Amino acid sequence: MGAGRGCAAGASERAVVADVAEILTDRGWRTKGNPAVSEDQAGMGAEPTLGPLEAMAGGYPNVDADLLRRLARAALFGVAAS
């Protein structure tokens, strides 16, 4: 599950980042000296997607989870989803 799809599905940011780290690791991505992509590294990679969506949904720490989900769906599918 990618960052955009995870948010569109209503998953928490922590769950999305954990899934992204696992997917990248399963596909053979590595960083020098590490056998796996960490959640921190995946979070940094997901930031360009999650950051603007969260800002539009109220900004940290006031992110409206329902609005974030709707915005992610609109970005993913190109339509305003309810």
* Domain boundaries, given as residue ranges, for the chain: 3-77
Read off the pLDDT of residues 6-59 as tens digits, 9 standing for 90 and up: 777 777 778 888 988 999 999 999 988 889 999 999 989 888 888 898 899 998
Selection from 8, 6, 19, 23 nearest residue 81 by Cα:
8
State the burial class of residue 34 (Cβ atoms within 10 Å of its Cβ: 0-12, 13-18, 19+): exposed
Pull the structure tokens for residue 58: 């109220």
Q: Whole-model pTM? A: 0.68
